[in-house]
């Protein structure tokens, strides 16, 4: 049996007519960049994310970049983040000329460890002495929110902005002491990606910045269009970070199904968790499951840990089961960041995870038969 890691054709089939109709509307209007479809989608996503504003962007990476630009973060500034994420998180910091400063992750959630941030701020390393800490950039990895209450508290204490990288977590909920909060509605800005493999995936690249700060929203929206306001007058230098109308139109259709897809992914995750019970396979922990939130995890990825990960990967690949390693090499070990001066062993929790994680198919349309086959094949290799 073949089980792909993700099957976007299965998601497209029931939506085909509806999506082709809205693409036709864009073709008939010949209005391709920003415009009414983007404005409508921004209003829908702001409502979905419980934020005052949402600004469409050209990608999740660019959403992170314009967030940093809007906060005037650049050379001489430090941004505290996780070494265990997709490259774009840290790439964005470097792209604006700021310096990423890493702390280790929590071994259960794989998210940035607030205690490690506290420790870093209390013992700022000598080699970063010339830098001003300006922001914390937590990532809601695999679809589960980082522990935001202590992060927001530290940010307040140290006058830091918080840029949430929610690329894998749109709609995920965090049970704050002050009530349920959605990813992207907690920090100074929230950044999302509509890369096709995310839970809300477009027909190409796309992204979004959310914020509760209306003045910042205005600045973000100008920065994504060359810092222009009014037309052909530029008080600041932005860039071409715009969302296309075709993407917005497709995403508006898909957004209406997002919560049911999240629920199906959670159901599939529960099936795997039951299937691996009692084995040496470690399954993900939904740390907010008992906190009364509807979406404690949206399972953009279902990640198992196995001490003999490479053997498991080889076996299930042989069995034609899609799988991948997110991520095999921590960011502080990447060649392009050698200049930061980190060495192997600096972040033992993240480094151990990189050697043990394996993503299994968890997309909503997966059948029970496919899941049984995946569980059986993984267990054969354990
Ligand atoms: C996908 C992703 C991004 C980048 O999004 P793009 O739309 O591909 O630019 C950033 N951060 C994380 C954690 C991601 O998973």
251 & 156 share domain: yes
The C-alpha angle 208, 256, 251, rounded to 5 degrees, equals 40
CB-based contacts of 289: which residues, under 8 Å, 6+ apart? 296, 297
Q: How far is CA 375 from CA 3, 297, 356, in A?
A: 12, 21, 17
Query: pLDDT tens track of the chain, all 382 residues?
Result: 999 999 999 999 999 999 999 999 999 999 999 999 999 999 999 999 999 999 999 999 999 999 999 999 999 999 999 999 999 999 999 999 999 999 999 999 999 999 999 999 999 999 999 999 999 999 999 999 999 999 999 999 999 999 999 999 999 999 999 999 999 999 999 999 999 999 999 999 999 999 999 999 999 999 999 999 999 999 999 999 999 999 999 999 999 999 999 999 999 999 999 999 999 999 999 999 999 999 999 999 999 999 899 999 999 999 999 999 999 999 999 999 999 999 999 999 999 999 999 999 999 999 999 999 999 999 999 9
pLDDT for residue 200: 98
66 & 180 share domain: yes
Does 72 fall in a domain? yes
Residue 2 to residue 318: CA distance in whole angstroms: 10
Q: What is the DSSP letter of 170?
A: T
Ligand 1 lined by 193 (C-beta under 6 Å): yes
280 & 248 share domain: no
Does 1 fall in a domain? no
Number of domains within the chain: 2
Ligand 1 centroid–CA 171 distance in Å is 16
Residue 277 to residue 270: CA distance in whole angstroms: 11
Does 2 fall in a domain? no
pLDDT for residue 307: 85
Ligand 1 centroid–CA 379 distance in Å is 31
- The CATH number assigned to the domain holding 165 equals 3.40.640.10
Ligand 1 centroid–CA 168 distance in Å is 7
Ligand 1 centroid–CA 72 distance in Å is 21
Ligand 1 lined by 165 (C-beta under 6 Å): yes
Residue nearest to atom 7 of ligand 1 (CA): 60
3-state helix, strand, coil in the chain (%, to 5): 40, 15, 40
268 & 241 share domain: no
| pTM score, whole prediction | 0.98
- The CATH number assigned to the domain holding 274 equals 3.90.1150.10
Does 373 fall in a domain? yes
Q: Which residue do the tokens 């979406």 mark?
A: 295
The C-alpha angle 208, 213, 219, rounded to 5 degrees, equals 65
Nearest atom of ligand 1 to the alpha carbon of 63: 9
Residue 327 to residue 305: CA distance in whole angstroms: 12
Distance of CA 178 to the CA centre of its chain: 23
Q: Which residue do the tokens 């505290």 mark?
A: 80
Look up the domain containing 311 and give its range. 258-381
269 & 154 share domain: no
User: Treating both helix axes as pointing N-terminal to C-terminal, what angle do 60-70 and 87-95 enclose, rounded to 10 degrees?
Assistant: 40
Any idea how long the chain is?
A: 382
Q: How many C-beta atoms surround the C-beta of residue 228 within 10 A?
A: 15
What is the torsional sign of CA 113, 119, 122, 127? negative
Ligand 1 centroid–CA 275 distance in Å is 30
Q: How many C-beta atoms surround the C-beta of residue 241 within 10 A?
A: 24
Does 369 fall in a domain? yes
Give the H or E element holding residue 140.
none
Q: Which two tokens stand for residue 274?
A: 């039951």
Residues 81-106: tens digit of each pLDDT: 999 999 999 999 999 999 999 999 99
Does 96 fall in a domain? yes
Boundary of a domain, candidates 216, 231, 255: 255
Q: How far is CA 191 from CA 78, 231, 242, in A?
A: 19, 26, 14
Does 266 fall in a domain? yes
Ligand 1 lined by 139 (C-beta under 6 Å): yes
217 & 311 share domain: no
SS3 26: helix
User: Treating both helix axes as pointing N-terminal to C-terminal, what angle do 36-48 and 16-29 enclose, rounded to 10 degrees?
Assistant: 140
pLDDT for residue 33: 96
Boundary of a domain, candidates 239, 255, 271: 255
Residues 128-158: tens digit of each pLDDT: 999 999 999 999 999 999 999 999 999 999 9
Backbone torsions φ then ψ of 281, nearest 5 degrees? -80, 125
pLDDT for residue 296: 98
Boundary of a domain, candidates 221, 255, 289: 255
Q: How far is CA 131 from CA 10, 142, 152, in A?
A: 49, 31, 21
Residue of 147, 224, 225 lying closest to 186 (CA atoms): 147
174 & 49 share domain: yes
66 & 189 share domain: yes
Residue 147 to residue 167: CA distance in whole angstroms: 16
70 & 196 share domain: yes
251 & 295 share domain: no
Alpha-helical runs (H) found in 256-367: 258-275, 309-318, 348-356
Q: What is the DSSP letter of 281?
A: P
Ligand 1 lined by 61 (C-beta under 6 Å): yes
Residue of 144, 137, 161, 174 lying closest to 213 (CA atoms): 161
249 & 315 share domain: no
Residue nearest to atom 14 of ligand 1 (CA): 167
Residue 358 to residue 98: CA distance in whole angstroms: 32
Does 3 fall in a domain? no
337 & 251 share domain: no
């Amino acid at each position: 049996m073949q089980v792909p890691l993700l099957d976007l054709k299965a998601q497209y089939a029931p939506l085909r007519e509806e999506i082709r109709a809205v693409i036709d509307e864009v073709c008939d209007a010949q209005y391709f960049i920003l415009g009414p479809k983007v404005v409508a989608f921004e209003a829908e996503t702001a409502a979905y994310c419980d934020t005052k504003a949402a600004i469409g962007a050209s990608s999740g990476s660019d959403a992170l970049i314009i967030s940093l630009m809007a906060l005037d973060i650049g050379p001489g500034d430090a941004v505290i983040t996780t070494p265990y994420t997709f490259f774009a998180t840290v790439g964005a910091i470097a792209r604006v000329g700021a310096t990423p400063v890493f702390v280790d992750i929590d071994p259960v959630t794989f998210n940035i460890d607030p205690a490690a941030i506290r420790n870093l701020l209390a013992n700022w390393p000598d080699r970063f002495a010339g830098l001003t800490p300006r922001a914390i950039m937590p990532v809601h990895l695999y679809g589960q929110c980082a522990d935001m209450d202590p992060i927001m508290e530290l940010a307040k204490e140290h006058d830091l902005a918080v840029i949430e990288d929610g690329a894998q977590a749109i709609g995920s909920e965090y049970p704050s002491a002050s009530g349920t909060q959605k990813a992207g509605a907690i920090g100074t800005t929230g950044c999302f990606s509509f890369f096709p493999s995310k839970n809300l995936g477009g027909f190409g690249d796309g992204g979004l910045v959310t914020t509760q700060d209306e003045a910042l929203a205005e600045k973000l929206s100008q920065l994504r269009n060359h810092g222009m306001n009014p037309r052909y007058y530029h008080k600041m230098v932005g860039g071409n970070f715009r969302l296309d109308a075709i993407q917005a139109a497709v995403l508006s259709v898909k957004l209406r199904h997002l919560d049911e897809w999240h629920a199906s992914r959670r159901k599939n995750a529960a099936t795997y968790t039951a299937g691996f019970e009692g084995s040496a396979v470690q399954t993900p922990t939904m740390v907010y499951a008992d906190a009364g939130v509807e979406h404690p995890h949206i399972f953009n990825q279902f990640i198992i840990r196995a001490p003999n990960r490479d053997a498991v990967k080889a076996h299930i690949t042989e069995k034609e089961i899609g799988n991948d390693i997110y991520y095999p090499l921590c960011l502080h070990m990447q060649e392009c960041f050698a200049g930061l001066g980190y060495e192997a062993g600096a972040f033992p929790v993240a480094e151990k995870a990189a050697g043990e994680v394996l993503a299994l198919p968890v997309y909503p349309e997966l059948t029970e038969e496919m899941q049984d086959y995946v569980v059986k094949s993984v267990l054969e290799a354990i």
